Amino acid sequence: MSETNRFQIEHLGAPNYKSPLQLSTVRGDHIFNFVSESDRLVFDISMDQYAHCLSTGEEPNCLEKAGPRQNIFFDPKETTAAIVTCGGLCPGINNVIRGVVMALHYFYGIKRIMGVPYGYEGLNPEIGHGFVELTPEKVKDIHQFGGTFLGSSRGGQDVSVMVDTLESNNINMLFAIGGDGTLKGVDAIGEEIKKRGANISVVGIPKTIDNDIDLIDESFGFETAFDVASPIIRDAHNEAAGAYNGISIVKLMGRDSGFIAASAALAMPVVNFVLIPEMDFQLEGELGFLGVLRERLERKKHAVIVVAEGAGQQLFTDKNRVKDASGNVKHSDIGVFLKERIKEYFTDIPVTIKYIDPSYIVRSAPANSSDSVYCSRLAYHAVHGAMAGKTKFVACKVNNKFVYIPITEVTKKRKKIDLESEFWFSVLQSTGQPFLLK
């Protein structure tokens, strides 16, 4: 695929059915308009890219605008949909499930909607989970709770078996809610469907509490995560300030990217150090972390440290890394490690150390109001795209606009904090920690 059409979405075929949505095609009549297939949004909106395209005559990379189409591919009366949730928990999963069910049922009149229990395991009949029928009545209140109504699991199943299951149950569209591994899995399912020439749409709705899906503005649940973490950090500060040379260490989610730790520190600006996977820091030496921590205690008599779970892995001598079922490296516990090293270092002065790990509380929380709005809109756009016959795409927000992007584009790499970005500079300004801790 050439650079100019890298964001082109695959279609199952011509959309020959009229949408049941009573929308408009005329501007100014105060009724929302159908989105045209020609509606595109420029991906790189920088002045440099604009000047480059002007000087070279190149067409800029553009994204498909998300939304309802006037013509749809599937006949709603003959359509069956399925929803699966995979990977770790994240605030907002139930909101997305609810939004997809409501959109399919009320917008398009689809009456048969199946829930796939316990992730991709539910698409393997040998495991025996079966399906759960989803109706508006069953899902109407699930947004008030954290976790996932359908259950989840890590790891994939045989792609051929999963597609066999979809075909044998006459499922026409599969909505997969999950992170990097889940999205790669549903893309593989889409490839197998394509080989078979089947008319099944597969759609990804990006879910990662770490906010590490590439290209997109933000993943759902991320904002709730640092919202929930903020009062925990506040209380950690109270613990630290309440003791002479008190130190509080708060470990937050963030396997490869430190967005939660950094954002939580900005949201609750009582944090003195933020340690994230993107930074290479040392403990010893004049400019090492422990020396800078000593200076902080000498001046203020307390310190609050927020550390992402994937930070400081270079400090561990054991390099034998095991992986979970999703293929993610299981990191050593940096929080416990820091606590022990700090205790060993401060033998000349008394210190009081409190270690707090609220990770599972944070990820199991229900979505806040902002994330709830976001989840509903993501769900609606995912349904509109699937009904139009689009496949192997994610519904997401880029440059503050809802768009469709091929799954392959968002899974090429993980999004990480740029240590030279204004965002990270804001964190350093808030904490007062040095640019480098080595």
Q: Report the catalytic residues.
A: 210
Cα pseudo-dihedral 275, 279, 284, 288, rounded to 10: -80
Residue 179 known to bind ligand:
yes
Residue 88 known to bind ligand:
yes
Distance CA 348, CA 204 (A): 55
Residue 151 known to bind ligand:
no
User: What element of type H or E holds 41?
Assistant: strand 40-42
Residue 180 known to bind ligand:
yes
Residue 209 known to bind ligand:
yes
What backbone torsions phi and psi does residue 111 show, to the nearest 5 degrees? -100, -20
Residue 182 known to bind ligand:
yes
The pair of three-digit structure tokens given for residue 292, joined into one six-digit string: 């800078």
Provide DSSP, 323-340: B-TTS-B----HHHHHHH
Residue 56 known to bind ligand:
no
CB 106 within 8 A of CB 385: no
Residue 362 known to bind ligand:
yes
User: What element of type H or E holds 204?
Assistant: strand 201-206
Residue 181 known to bind ligand:
yes
Residue 306 known to bind ligand:
no
Number of H helices, E strands in the chain: 14, 17
Residue 361 known to bind ligand:
yes
Q: Exposed (0-12), middle (13-18) or buried (19+): which is 105, by Cβ within 10 Å?
A: buried
Q: Would you give the DSSP letter of residue 44?
A: -
Residue 208 known to bind ligand:
yes
Residue 420 known to bind ligand:
no
Residue 310 known to bind ligand:
no
The pair of three-digit structure tokens given for residue 20, joined into one six-digit string: 């049941």
Residue 432 known to bind ligand:
no
Distance CA 282, CA 104 (A): 52
Beta pairing class for 40-42 and 17-18: unpaired
Provide DSSP, 81-136: EEEEE-SS--TTHHHHHHHHHHIIIIIH---EEEEESTGGGGG-TTT----EE--H
What does the buried/exposed string (b/e) look like for 204-226 if buried means 16 or more CB atoms within 10 Å of the residue's CB?
bbbbbbbbbbebbebbbbbbbbb
Residue 155 known to bind ligand:
yes
| Among 167, 162, 190, 274, CA closest to 11 | 190
SS3 state at 30: coil
Task: Please give the annotated binding residues, written as ranges.
Answer: 88, 154-155, 179-182, 208-210, 253-255, 309, 360-363
Task: Please give the annotated binding residues for Mg(2+), written as ranges.
Answer: 180
Task: Please give the annotated binding residues for ATP, written as ranges.
Answer: 88, 154-155, 179-182
Task: Please give the annotated binding residues for substrate, written as ranges.
Answer: 208-210, 253-255, 309, 360-363
